[in-house]
Amino acid sequence: MARGISLHIGLNYVDPNHYSGWDGKLNACEFDASDMELIANSCGYNSTKLLREQATRESVFSFIENVSSELEPGDIFLVTYSGHGGQVPDYNNDEKEDGLDETWCLYNGEFIDDELRYLWTLFKEGVRVLVFSDSCHSGTVIKEIGGERQVLRRNDEFSQWSIKSIPDEVSSRNFFRNIGFYEGISSKMAKFKGKEIKASVKLISGCQDNQYSYDGRFNGQFTGRLKLVWNRGAFNGTYKKFHKEITGRLPEYQSPNYLNIGKPNSEFDKQRPFQI
């Protein structure tokens, strides 16, 4: 019988000691993580939640690494992230369009998409990995390059809520203050650049790489719409339909991405969201 394990990450704050004095205050990310955990629990997953100072680079990396050795073909790993997204310079030359790697802003440092891609290579063939990322610049945060990108700018409809992106000036200051740290990650991950992903990895993101995701009162705008479409489990359809209906509830300047990498899996594609 297939198993489901899930990890739910939410950060309303980050550690200003790493981020050059910036605490990254947001409102609803920890609510997002709790609500996604409730969905996972209702579907039979064995769930873990990491909030704020629990959501360190080390804890997220080690959790995913450990899960990769536990799961067998037919099992599923669900990861949800709500927090700031960022971008750092690409040092291994796989981001030819914009020269930037996408990141999750974890409590004590940014988690680079190259690291996520490496972690997916540890999973066995036949394992399904499902990622929801309610963060800015999240269109390819699981790591895949290609396709034309249209530059879209912030709109004022959600302007009463914070955007879930590390500010440019903070990002630059933080990167150069910690340049050895981030260059070291890039150098380490470059060794695994061509390693095959044998699992089937699916992402539904809060927006495209060049867009912002917005915070909210009770949920981020993406997670809130996801919950409405899910409708306490009444939704009936495939992942593509799920993505399309969430997208239809958001404005064009916050356009959720749908992305598959690794081994194609037509059965995974046809399943109902969150199905174990």
pLDDT in tens, 208-259: 888 889 999 999 999 999 999 999 999 999 999 999 999 999 988 899 999 9
* Top mean-pLDDT range of 55-69, 133-147, 173-187: 55-69
Q: What is the pLDDT of residue 63?
A: 98
Q: 108: which 2 tokens? A: 């004590």
Instruction: Detail the DSSP E strand segments found in 140-207.
Output: 200-205
Contacts of 247 (CB under 8 A, 6+ apart): 255, 256
Range with the poorest average pLDDT among 152-156, 161-165, 172-176, 254-258: 152-156
40: left (phi over 0), alpha (psi -120 to 50) or beta: alpha
Sign for the CA dihedral angle at 142, 145, 147, 148 comes to positive
Q: State CA 206 to chain mean position distance.
A: 8
Does the pLDDT of residue 150 top 50, yes or no? no
Q: 8: which 2 tokens? A: 């739910």
Does the pLDDT of residue 99 top 70, yes or no? no
Q: What is the mean pLDDT of residues 86-115?
A: 79
Q: 235: which 2 tokens? A: 């939704």
Q: State CA 216 to chain mean position distance.
A: 18
Q: What is the pLDDT of residue 255?
A: 92
Instruction: Detail the DSSP E strand segments found in 31-125.
Output: 46-51, 76-82, 85-89, 100-106, 109-112
User: CB-based burial of residue 78 (10 Å sphere; 0-12 exposed, 13-18 middle, 19+ buried)?
Assistant: buried
Q: Is residue 136 very low, low, confident or very high in pLDDT (cuts 50, 70, 90)?
A: confident
Contacts of 83 (CB under 8 A, 6+ apart): 9, 10, 11, 12, 14, 24, 26, 29, 55, 104, 105, 106, 134, 135, 164
Q: 121: which 2 tokens? A: 């290579």
Does the pLDDT of residue 160 top 60, yes or no? no
Q: What is the pLDDT of residue 155?
A: 47
Does the pLDDT of residue 152 top 60, yes or no? no
Q: What is the pLDDT of residue 157?
A: 52
Q: What is the pLDDT of residue 184?
A: 83
Q: Which of 244, 250, 149, 141 lies closest to 202 in space, CA to CA?
A: 141
Q: What is the pTM of this model?
A: 0.90
Q: What is the pLDDT of residue 237?
A: 98
Q: Is residue 92 very low, low, confident or very high in pLDDT (cuts 50, 70, 90)?
A: low
Q: What is the pLDDT of residue 142?
A: 60
Question: Is residue 162 within 8 Å of residue 28, measured between CB atoms?
Answer: no
Q: 116: which 2 tokens? A: 């996520």
Alpha helix positions (H), 4-56: 29-42
Chain-wide mean pLDDT for the chain? 88
Q: Is residue 93 very low, low, confident or very high in pLDDT (cuts 50, 70, 90)?
A: low
For the chain, helix, strand, coil in percent to 5 are 30, 20, 45
Identify the helix (H) or strand (E) that includes residue 223.
helix 221-230
Q: What is the pLDDT of residue 129?
A: 98
Q: What is the pLDDT of residue 59?
A: 98
Q: What is the mean pLDDT of residues 177-181?
A: 84
d(CA 182, CA 112): 9
Residue 48, phi then psi, degrees to nearest 5? -130, 140
Q: 252: which 2 tokens? A: 């064009």
- Does residue 33 or residue 160 have the better pLDDT? 33
Domains, the chain = 4-270 (3.40.50.1460)
Does the pLDDT of residue 153 top 50, yes or no? no
